[in-house]
Amino acid sequence: MPPSVLRVWCSTPQWRGIRQSPRRTLSADRYEEPFSYFTSGTAGRRVKNRSGKLGHQGLSRLTRAGESYPFSEITNDPDFPHVRSIHTKIRGVSKENPDGVNRQQIIRQCCRSGDALFLVREPNNPVDSNAIQVRRIVYSDVPDEPRLREQIGYVSRELAEELAPKMDDDGFVLMAWIMNVTGGEDDEGLGVNIQIEEYRPAQSK
């Protein structure tokens, strides 16, 4: 059964933490979080169901484990309707992650236009309690079960101030996709322009 956004989100420590304690944080170094909520049923978006069988396409995906997951593989779900799209630029792309890997290296090696991203709350951030991480989504070795990978930056402070309460209190799910990667010439740092897609629970107004 193909992945579905809400179920992926419901399986992450972020979702469980919000339900158990609004101030629990999702550690930035917890890579390879399974997107098991991407398995059928309700979700902000779900991966297109092409066939219940593995087939050649499924086999090819097995060889792509770790590669970026394309946003084009995800479709709308009526239980988590789309609210709006927001064009913005990822902040903090020149910093290092807790494991010491520089985000510029990740962006240079792994990020391309059309790649899917997932936005994760970081309420215990010492600088900004509204902080929202931007994380990569990648193929796993299990068909239609994408995983969360490295953080490549943050949503801007101004935008996070608006979006964080919706994520914490109203259960909004935020995904994004890379519009383009900028810079990189003459030792210029890389930047990432993204489009955030905002989804709300169907019962919310």
DSSP bridge pairs for 70: 115
The pLDDT assigned to 140 comes to 85
Domain that residue 178 falls in: 5-199
- Cα-based distances in Å from 76 to 72, 117, 146, 203: 11, 16, 17, 16
To the nearest 5 percent, what fractions of the chain are helix, strand and coil? 25, 30, 45
Give the residue among 81, 95, 112 at the shortest CA–CA distance from 182: 112
The pLDDT assigned to 142 comes to 81
Query: Residue 193 domain-assigned?
Result: yes
Query: Residue 204 domain-assigned?
Result: no
H helix or E strand, kind and range, residue 116: strand 116-121
The pLDDT assigned to 144 comes to 73
Query: Residue 162 domain-assigned?
Result: yes
Q: Could you say which residues of the chain have pLDDT below 50?
A: 1-4, 7, 11, 13-32, 34-44, 47-59, 61
Q: How many domains does the chain divide into?
A: 1
What does the block give as tokens for 72?
């084009």
Residue-wise pLDDT tens digits, 108-151? 999 999 999 999 999 999 999 999 999 999 988 887 788 899 99
**Residue 166 belongs to domain with CATH number:** 3.30.70.2330
Buried b (16+ CB within 10 A) or exposed e, 37-50: bbbeebbbbbbeee
Q: Name the DSSP class of 96.
A: B
Query: Residue 205 domain-assigned?
Result: no
The pLDDT assigned to 204 comes to 59
H helix or E strand, kind and range, residue 152: strand 147-154
Query: Residue 188 domain-assigned?
Result: yes
